[in-house]
Structures are given as C-alpha cells and as structure tokens.
Amino acid sequence: MPKYMIHTCYKRRWYVNEFLLPSMLAQGIPERDIFVWLDWTGAGNLISCMDSFRACGLVPGGTWHLQDDVMISRRFAELTAEHDEGVVCGFANADFGPFMQERGKQPEPFMWNSFQCIRIPNELAHECAGWFYTDAINRQGEYQRYVIEKKYDDTFWRDFMDERHPDMSVYNLAPNVVDHVDYIIGGSVINTGRMKEQYRAEFWEDEDLTEELAARIAARQNR
C-alpha cells in the first residue's frame, strides 16, 4: 500500500485538517498510511523538508510527498497506488520547466519540478538529506542564499538528482493527481512576493472539484 506524507506548517494546519486529509480518507486511503509532517519548530521549508527526508530513510519503501497547498484529483488514490514505484512526479506546471510534454517514463533530466506532489523512494530521500547536510549546505554562492531564505527544497532535490543520479529514470504522471490551490487558501506562505497569483497543474482534469473547493473555502471564511 502507498504511504503518504503531507508537509505543513502551523499557518496551514486548518486546511490540512479540514480539507486535504479528509479528501484522502474519503478515497479510501487508510489514516495509518498518511503522516502529517508539521514544521513544529519553525525551522522553515528547506530544513523541515530535509529532516523529513532523513526520517523517511528509517523505513523501507517509498513515500508520496504532498505540500499543504494542494487538492487531490478524483483518481488520486487509484493512480498513486498504480504508480507506487521509483520517482514519480504527480504535478506539472508550464512555468516550472521546459519538459511539460515529456510524460510517462523519462530520463532524469526530463523530471518535472513536482514538489507539490512527488513519490520518492525512502532510501533516495535519505541519501538526498545526507548530501544536503554534509555537502550542499556548506557550499558557497547561491546555495547560501537558499539556506538563509529557508526555501528552495525543490531546487536542492533537482541538483541532488542531477549530480548523484543523472542516469536514473523517473515517471512524469499525467493526468496530474493534484492541483496547486494556494491562491484559494490565502496565497503562498513562503513566496509572498511572487509575480503570478496562480501556478496550476498543467494536466488537470477535475476543474469542477477545484471550483467546489473554492466555494467551500469561501463559505468557511464567511462563517
């Protein structure tokens, strides 16, 4: 059975508890297979991510990692179970990279920037955390800015894969199994000054569910 980890912070716990987690349970995913990783110390997105990767290495198998600003598709449980092997990218956005049409099994350089939803073998996540804490975090230049700003976990992941596993195959999953809905739930927590309001899933088939969620969030806020 697939295992899932939702990465969240105190500011987004309401959405995870009231909307995201119940939607996963409603598709029949056992609660025991979902772990909510809370940045309870306020370490920030980057360190919290790497600590979660290190923790994943304590158990065999793999984990589907979800951010706390996504909603799941109708076929989320079905497709994540069907593709529960290796590195699987469950989200794509045209602004995040030039390989949007490279779907299915692909060489590592064509991997989507998919940290909204990505499956990573636990052993590989653990290796990435080790690379970060023993090597990347000490490098001078732009990496130091990333560390200071406490974000860019997706950039470190891609650089790790480019350096350590350039010959590995990945799977770019379309239709996408999540949509990025931070614009519905208050905007980005870590990128408050970004240029665009919305970074939606490129291969999303459930726009009616997105509209329904927006209405439910609006109703909650008006209570």
Residue 216 has a pLDDT of 96
Orientation of helix 122-134 relative to helix 153-164, angle to 10°: 100
Residue 197 has a pLDDT of 65
**What distance in Å separates the CA atoms of residue 164 and residue 158, rounded to the nearest whole number?**
10
Q: What residues of the chain score a pLDDT lower than 70? A: 96-97, 187-197
Residue 193 has a pLDDT of 46
Kindly report, residue by residue over 189-222, the tens digit of the pLDDT.
554 444 456 889 999 999 999 999 999 999 998 8
Q: Do the strands 4-8 and 62-67 form a parallel or antiparallel pair, or are they unpaired?
A: parallel
Residue 101 has a pLDDT of 86
* Global pTM value: 0.93
Single-letter residue type at 82: E
The 4-8 sheet, strands edge to edge: 34-38, 4-8, 62-67, 117-121, 88-89, 169-172, 104-107
**What distance in Å separates the CA atoms of residue 6 and residue 2, rounded to the nearest whole number?**
13
Domains detected in the chain: 4-221 (3.90.550)
